[in-house]
Amino acid sequence: MKIKGAVLREANKPLTIETLELEPPGEGEVLVKYVNTAFCHTDLHYMLGEMGELVPYPFVLGHETAGVVEEVGPKVTKVEKGDHVTATWMIPCGKCPQCQRGRGSICTGNLWTLSAGQLPSGATKMTDKNGELVFYHIFVSGFATHMVIPEDGAIVLPKELPLDQGCFMGCCVPTGWGSITKKAEILPGDSVVVFGMGGVGLNAVRAAALSNANPVIAVDIEGSKEAIAREFGATEFIDSSKEDPVERIRTETGGLPVEGLGFLGGGVDVVVEAIGDPGAYIQAYWCLAAGGKLVAPGIIPAGQEAPMQLTFLPLQEHSILGTLYGSISTDIDIPRYAHMAMTQDLKLDKLITKHFKLEEINDVAEAMKRREIIGRWVCDLD
Ligand SMILES: NC(=O)c1ccc[n+]([C@@H]2O[C@H](COP(=O)([O-])OP(=O)(O)OC[C@H]3O[C@@H](n4cnc5c(N)ncnc54)[C@H](O)[C@@H]3O)[C@@H](O)[C@H]2O)c1
Ligand SMILES: [Zn+2]
Ligand SMILES: [Zn+2]
């Protein structure tokens, strides 16, 4: 069938909106009519070549998506035609050492097909108008009107959850929530700082607030993000373009500046870096109390470095914890988050501040580069 998709043919070039040929679903695969896909900063990293060219060109970009199952291939048992689903960008193989330890979000078995722009089976499904292969973007390729994905990558969502919120179940909700509840293992009363008030950081703030963390301090270099940070539950907002968040947080929490060593004492239990900026990583680290955890979903562009002064890493038992997909189990945790979105106020309606058309996607990327996006902008794929 013919589909429309946003194709990245080269880093640092605009996406092209192309008509592509999509093969029908094979065994264990489903055809999904994508309805909404949100623009995540990882998409921008790929457009700017900041992921070290992990996926071969050309590929259809996008990975935070939700849609409706239109057709199922042979032997599909998990989903049915008409189901609402999100597509996951990590599909645990179940066999590799990480999967066998219950850590499917860092599955290494399927990493090779992911980075080859294929489905876990090795299949590719798309060709362009010249009959040339077009690859997958991390098993999802969300900026397209339709896509064939494996049933293992399709997670059923409640039909009552609007699809423009359901798409967040594909990335920023699990990443933000998992950073707080899975990786930081937050306890009521823990003090939290979140750097970066984008889709990931706002969900981390919401998770911290609903987990009774206190205080929940939001940091962003754009003062325009203050209102949404507070809406999601931040008790304090620091505009890091105007003041040094380390100095403010360490002194507010009882720390003292010490010549040559930065600060001693004070600091918070958990800091989340949800930006991917070397300078912000260093600031985030210096906000930690003794025994504190720096949880790091933010992806620093390939080729950039964050020089860290780590004298206190052993002396104060700091932890620096990378997290992919919020360290979740996609099959178990995404349905839980979707259920929570129906029963608690995750504020997902407030996360959407703009709907856009596929043809406008390059403007959206430019707006994200300029840090103008408040919350998430969501593509309508009609
Ligand atoms: N580890 C994972 O599984 C995973 C999943 C999703 C996203 N990510 C990564 O997380 C990061 C955040 O993604 P997002 O979609 O929320 O991004 P976003 O662009 O929506 O938000 C980033 C926010 O950081 C702010 N910011 C930028 N530079 C800053 C600085 N130096 N100091 C303070 N604030 C600054 C921006 O104003 C913006 O509000 C990206 O690196 C993305 O690739 C990782
Ligand atoms: Zn695996
Ligand atoms: Zn993402």
328 occurs within a structural domain = no
**H or E element at residue 7:** strand 2-8
Task: Pull the structure tokens for residue 333.
Answer: 């945790």
CA of 202 to the centre of ligand 1 (A): 10
Q: Are residues 242 and 314 in the same domain?
A: yes
Kindly tell me if the per-residue pLDDT of 261 is higher than 90: no
pLDDT tens, 115-129? 999 999 999 999 999
Q: Does any ligand 1 atom lie closer than 6 A to the CB of residue 65?
A: no
Residue 329 lies in a domain: no
Measured CA to CA, the distance from residue 366 to residue 371 in angstroms comes to 9
37, 39, 40, best to mutate for ligand 1 pocket (most atoms within 8 Å of CB): 40
| Ligand 1 mean position, distance from CA 196 (Å) | 6
CATH of residue 228 = 3.40.50.720
Question: Residues 136, 189: one domain?
Answer: no
Segments forming the whole domain that contains residue 240: 176-323
What pLDDT, on a 0 to 100 scale, did the predictor assign at position 189? 98
Residue nearest to atom 38 of ligand 1 (CA): 198
Model pLDDT, residue 259: 83
Closest residue by CA, ligand 1 atom 10: 298
What's the whole-number mean pLDDT along residues 295-306? 97
Q: What is the pTM of this model?
A: 0.98
Beta bridge partners of 293: 270, 319
76 and 33, same structural domain? yes
Question: Does residue 54 lie within any of the structural domains?
Answer: yes
Q: How far is the CA of 257 from the centre of ligand 3 (A)?
A: 37
Spatial CB neighbours of 248, under 8 Å, sequence gap ≥ 6: 238
Given a cut of 90, whether residue 13 has pLDDT beyond it is: yes
Average pLDDT over residues 35-45: 98
The percent of residues in the chain predicted with pLDDT above 90, rounded, is 96
Query: The domain spanning residue 373 has which CATH number?
Result: 3.90.180.10
Same domain, 45 and 122: yes
The pLDDT tens digits of the residues spanning 177-211 come to 999 999 999 999 999 999 999 999 999 999 999 99
Q: Is 324 in the pocket of ligand 1 (CB under 6 A)?
A: yes
205 shares its domain with 112: no
Give the whole-angstrom CA distance, residue 30 versus residue 140.
12
Closest atom, ligand 1, to C-alpha of 199 = 16
Model confidence at 258, pLDDT cuts 50, 70, 90, reads: confident
Note whether 315 and 267 are same-domain residues. yes
Distance 62 CA to ligand 3 centre (A): 8
Ligand 1 atom 20: residue of nearest CA? 198
**Judgement on whether residues 166 and 196 belong to the same structural domain of the protein:** no
Q: How confident is residue 54, by pLDDT bands cut at 50, 70 and 90?
A: confident
The ligand placed nearest to the CA atom of residue 42 is 1
CA distance linking residue 179 with residue 207, whole number of Å: 9
User: Phi then psi for 344, rounded to 5 degrees?
Assistant: -130, 165
Q: Is residue 339, in this structure, part of any structural domain at all?
A: no
pLDDT at 218: 98
Indicate which atom in ligand 1 lies nearest the CA of residue 105.
3
In a domain, 334, yes or no: no
Q: How far does residue 197's CA lie from ligand 1's centre (Å)?
A: 7
Report the residue among 200, 321, 329, 373 best suited for mutation to probe ligand 1: largest number of ligand atoms under 8 A from its CB.
200
Are 205 and 299 found together in one domain?
yes
Do 86 and 15 have their domain in common? yes
Answer with the one of 307, 323, 339 that is the final residue of a domain: 323
Evaluate whether residue 286 is within a structural domain: yes
Q: What is the 57 CA–ligand 2 centroid distance (Å)?
A: 25
What value does the mean pLDDT take over residues 138-159? 98
**Reported confidence tier of residue 35, pLDDT bands at 50, 70, 90:** very high
Instruction: Please name every residue paired with 2 in a beta bridge, in sequence order, or none if there are none.
Output: 21
**47 pLDDT higher than 90:** yes
Residues 55 and 141 in one domain: yes
Q: Please give the pLDDT value at position 251.
A: 93
Q: What is the mean pLDDT of residues 367-375?
A: 98
Report how far ligand 3's centroid is from the alpha carbon of 131 (Å): 30
Number of domains in the chain: 2
* Confidence at residue 9, expressed as pLDDT on a 0 to 100 scale: 98
238 falls within a domain: yes
Which ligand 1 atom is at minimum distance from the Cα of 41? 15
The CA angle 130-361-353, to the nearest 5 degrees, is: 155
pLDDT category of residue 357 using cuts at 50, 70 and 90: very high
Lowest mean pLDDT among 41-45, 308-312, 314-318: 308-312
- Quick one: 114 and 215 in the same domain? no
In angstroms, rounded to a whole number, what is the distance separating the alpha carbons of residues 219 and 354?
23
CA atoms within 13 A on the CB side of 349: 6
Average model confidence (pLDDT) across the chain: 97
Q: Is the CB of 40 under 6 A from ligand 1?
A: yes
99 and 13 assigned to the same domain: yes
